[in-house]
Structure 1
Amino acid sequence: MISAIQWIRKGAAAQNPKKYDLDDKEYLRISRLAADQLEDAKKDLKDAEAMAVDPASKSEKKEVDEMDQYNLDSYDAEVEASNKKVGIFSNIKDLAYYENDAEDPYITLKHNLDEEEEKKELEILPTDNMLLAAKTEDEISQLEIHVFEENQDNLYVHHDIMLPSFPLCLEWLDFHTDANKVADQTTSGNYVAIGTFEPDIEIWDLDTIDIMFPETILGYTDKSKKRSKKVNNDYHVDAIMDLAWNKHHRNFLLSSSADGTVKLWDLNVSKCVQSYNHHRDKVQSVAWHPTEPTVFLSGSFDKSVCVLDARSPENITRWQLNSDVESLRWDPHNPSNFYVALESGVIQYYDVRQAADGVGAKAIFTLQAHDDAVSALDVNPLIPGCIATGSSDKYIKIWNTADNKPSMVTSRNFELGRIFSAQFCPDSPFQLAIAGSNGKMHVWDMASNAGVRQAFRHQSLASVAPIEEKKPVTTVDDAEDEDDMEDDEPLNAQDEDDMEEDSE
């Protein structure tokens, strides 16, 4: 499945990504990271050994004692002392090792790949978008870095990064963290923060190929004392549900967690500088205000949405809802308003100015978008009034919310299974990326849909010809979710005509 996606604007990626270089400096850095992880593992093992002995553990100890008769711990030493070879290579002369293939006389096929050719293959043009996909298959998780060539309708995997745990959220940032400081912090970078079921946040460099370790890890760092499992002000103790990077104060990153807290991280020092405890359950979504640099929005499974200023966390405006919050989005075209997607399938639209004594007023409008939970929501940054919703009902829907009177423009089933993510491209108003439970991702050119062209005809479509709808650009996983596919029923032509008539 693909649990999260993230567009990256054109020109943000390095045109010629660098290859990972394990030099002395990098070796020392990853050694420290590995030592920290090993120390955590040792403490967990020590805690497990200190637990009270029960009948099951006694049985396990007896089994270990019975294995002692084979003396496996000293087996290798005995073999070495007897100077005997064992195994399938016991009759073969000693193997010779060479530092590189050039010195090995038995390797006759030499790799003479031209460096310029390889550089050309890895090149990312300024006209290309990057599209990230957090993918899990057979309990193995990875971040796939795609390149989207809009002019050629081409989407391909450029490189990938192995992840230690199931990914839940992605957030792009271009700030150079404490681990990768440069002389001029105004220069842009290309990084992604990843939240998983683990309580730490990893930040990876997207401009490095075959990278082995993250640039930095935000979380528990004081190895002088045991990591607490209780909620605290320094680090999260449960899964990271959402992330939000502050584009005005670029060294700030917000995180929301299943531990019920929201935390503010300073990337200059890779530490938590403020913890917010205004929710009573898992905090599912968090978002910085688009124009007010210190104001943010948070939504929780305690069925509430809160707006507060990071500088005065005691002043909270709260909206109490009738269902758990799935996701939140500010309206970039009307920054005082925001959208809320609920587990009940409802979308609500609020005005932060309509509040009194810390209690928010009723919604400007309420829309029953889906019968199941709205698991994906995005607001088009380039087209006012255009939003997309996706659900576990396997449908993606486009809505026109002009004049606060929402109407459905079109509804499609792209056979992606349950929809987990949908996001508009920041550079192209009619490109929508969609991903779901069967591990595939589509980039849908909405402008090729007659209903979308009609609903948003006031937008500049000079470059879009009125052609019949194209097959979406897709990445395909061979191991498709057959159960999901059986239930998927794409709309027929008559259904599309009916919806287009409704939108008119």
Structure 2
Amino acid sequence: MPVFKVPFNGYSVKFSPFYESQLAVATAQNFGILGNGRLHVLQLSPSPANPGQPIIELSSFDTADGVYDCCWSESHDSLIVAAVADGSVKLYDLSLPPTANPIRSLQEHTREVHSVDYNVVRKDSFLSSSWDDTVKLWTVDRPSSVRTFKEHAYCVYSTAWNPRHADVFASASGDCTARIWDVREPASTMILPAHEFEILSCDWNKYDDCVIATASVDKSIKVWDVRSFRVPVAVLNGHGYAVRKVKFSPHRGSVIASCSYDMTVCLWDYMVEDALIGRYDHHTEFTVGVDMSVHVEGLLASTGWDELVYVWQHGMDPRAP
């Protein structure tokens, strides 16, 4: 299975929504504590020209601080948004030479930017969340944010747009809550006291716009129906340490991928009794980035502090040649 070595610690990996063979990887030097960052754009290469090199680097962009997350534009196949540790949100255009990048550096957050997410419905806006306890809404054509969402009492680690409603998103915070927002409303529309410890990630079900998953330092993933959120629909236990990222499958409504500080990637089906359907222990350090391809069912990618990016098919060994 394809593997790629990056010079810094991996933080996030995202498949392109346009090309099944492209993915972006966010990395940070010295475990993101101090030092530079780099955004990589990689290509899965089945071409005869590179038979011994299954992943090639198309381009990379250096930053003065670590890159904690990235997301692809849903409207321009060459545009990538990066969340940077200096509090900036940077936009890169792959169709332009490296010297012309970043095409924009948005400097409003006062602490590290931890996540970015592009609106999949309206396709013209994106969110950033930060350790300054806020979420900001941006559009590609504006040099300043459209709105700042201030309610969380601690770092906002993750935001996720609803896959069906253009104005609705969720946020996950170290204040142990997840919040549901509608950008047309003055305040959050729902507060989920989802865990008793910090919530590091959240994601919406791609087939049921009322179902959301949260992942926490408490080692669990919880699945919620926002129509009746007093008790979770499912609680997924199996990770040995904090769950860093959670991602719903774009192909199967009940399938979730997760990665953890226990160095594993897990696959779950929250609708069945034995929910854990796959565990991969190919990383040798904290596993902090995971994604599933929208183009190829069952194709997974992960990255971690071992400076490796893996791409593999569910059911296969990521380390297999």
CA deviation profile, 1:176-222 (whole Å, cap 9, x unmatched) = xxxxxxxxxxxx45111111114221111123453575221123xxx
CA deviation profile, 1:61-116 (whole Å, cap 9, x unmatched) = xxxxxxxxxxxxxxxxxxxxxxxxxxxxxxxxxxxxxxxxxxxxxxxxxxxxxxxx
CA distance in 1, matches of 2:76, 2:109: 24
1:159 maps to a residue whose letter is: P
CA distance in 2, matches of 1:366, 1:400: 13
Which residue does 1:194 correspond to in 2? 25
- Of 201, 205, 208, the residue aligned with 2:43 is 205
1:432 maps to a residue whose letter is: I
Which residue does 2:65 correspond to in 1? 238
How far does residue 479 in structure 1 lie from its aligned partner after superposition? 7.6
Call closer, same or farther: CA 1:476–1:190 in 2, change over 3 Å.
same
Which residue does 2:175 correspond to in 1? 344
Call closer, same or farther: CA 1:281–1:447 in 2, change over 3 Å.
same
Call closer, same or farther: CA 1:471–1:265 in 2, change over 3 Å.
closer
Corresponding residue SS for 2:251: coil
Moved over 4 A (4+): 477-481
CA distance in 2, matches of 1:424, 1:315: 28
Contact 1:298 1:328 in 2 (8 A): yes
Contact 1:161 1:210 in 2 (8 A): no
2:27 maps to a residue whose letter is: T
Call closer, same or farther: CA 1:161–1:479 in 2, change over 3 Å.
closer
Which residue does 1:331 correspond to in 2? 162
How far does residue 329 in structure 1 lie from its aligned partner after superposition? 0.4
2:12 maps to a residue whose letter is: C
CA distance in 2, matches of 1:200, 1:371: 34
How far does residue 273 in structure 1 lie from its aligned partner after superposition? 1.0
Contact 1:432 1:445 in 2 (8 A): yes
Matched, 1:260 2:87: yes
CA distance in 1, matches of 2:154, 2:108: 18
Which residue does 1:438 correspond to in 2? 262
Contact 1:329 1:340 in 2 (8 A): yes
Call closer, same or farther: CA 1:401–1:196 in 2, change over 3 Å.
same
Matched, 1:378 2:203: yes
Which residue does 2:241 correspond to in 1? 417
1:242 maps to a residue whose letter is: D
Call closer, same or farther: CA 1:447–1:204 in 2, change over 3 Å.
same
Call closer, same or farther: CA 1:293–1:168 in 2, change over 3 Å.
same
Call closer, same or farther: CA 1:244–1:266 in 2, change over 3 Å.
same
How far does residue 430 in structure 1 lie from its aligned partner after superposition? 1.2
How far does residue 304 in structure 1 lie from its aligned partner after superposition? 1.3
How far does residue 346 in structure 1 lie from its aligned partner after superposition? 0.6
1:392 maps to a residue whose letter is: V
CA distance in 1, matches of 2:22, 2:140: 24
Call closer, same or farther: CA 1:262–1:480 in 2, change over 3 Å.
closer
CA distance in 2, matches of 1:443, 1:244: 22
How far does residue 317 in structure 1 lie from its aligned partner after superposition? 1.0
CA distance in 1, matches of 2:275, 2:216: 23
CA distance in 2, matches of 1:159, 1:306: 35
Kindly, what percent of the aligned residue pairs are identical?
22
How far does residue 478 in structure 1 lie from its aligned partner after superposition? 10
Name the TM-score, length of structure 1 as normaliser. Answer: 0.50
Instruction: Flag the structure with more relative contact order, 1 or 2, with Cα contacts below 8 A and sequence separation at least 6.
Output: 2
CA deviation profile, 1:239-293 (whole Å, cap 9, x unmatched) = 0011110121212111110011111111101421111112111111111222233
Matched, 1:390 2:233: no
- The answer for unaligned runs of 5 or more in structure 1 is 1-157, 176-187, 220-235, 355-360, 450-468, 482-504
Which residue does 1:306 correspond to in 2? 136
CA distance in 1, matches of 2:283, 2:270: 26
Contact 1:425 1:433 in 2 (8 A): yes
1:160 maps to a residue whose letter is: V
Question: How many aligned residue pairs are there?
Answer: 270
- Of 275, 289, 305, the residue aligned with 2:119 is 289
Contact 1:253 1:266 in 2 (8 A): yes
Contact 1:327 1:341 in 2 (8 A): yes
Structure number, greater radius of gyration: 1
How far does residue 470 in structure 1 lie from its aligned partner after superposition? 6.0
Call closer, same or farther: CA 1:202–1:471 in 2, change over 3 Å.
closer
CA distance in 1, matches of 2:170, 2:276: 30
CA distance in 2, matches of 1:247, 1:320: 26
Corresponding residue SS for 2:271: helix
CA distance in 2, matches of 1:476, 1:202: 23
How far does residue 385 in structure 1 lie from its aligned partner after superposition? 1.1
CA deviation profile, 1:330-365 (whole Å, cap 9, x unmatched) = 1112221110100111101111012xxxxxx22111
Corresponding residue SS for 1:472: strand
CA distance in 1, matches of 2:252, 2:262: 26
- The answer for unaligned runs of 5 or more in structure 2 is 29-35, 47-51, 287-321
CA distance in 2, matches of 1:377, 1:330: 10
CA distance in 1, matches of 2:145, 2:262: 43
Matched, 1:250 2:77: yes
Contact 2:74 2:119 in 1 (8 A): no
Residues 120-139 of structure 1 correspond to what in structure 2 (within 5 A)? none
How far does residue 163 in structure 1 lie from its aligned partner after superposition? 2.1
Report the aligned-residue RMSD. 2.3
Contact 2:129 2:159 in 1 (8 A): yes
* Larger helix percent: 1
Call closer, same or farther: CA 1:479–1:287 in 2, change over 3 Å.
closer
Corresponding residue SS for 2:252: coil
Call closer, same or farther: CA 1:274–1:384 in 2, change over 3 Å.
same
How far does residue 432 in structure 1 lie from its aligned partner after superposition? 1.1
Call closer, same or farther: CA 1:206–1:317 in 2, change over 3 Å.
same
CA deviation profile, 1:463-502 (whole Å, cap 9, x unmatched) = xxxxxx3652222469899xxxxxxxxxxxxxxxxxxxxx
Which residue does 1:275 correspond to in 2? 105
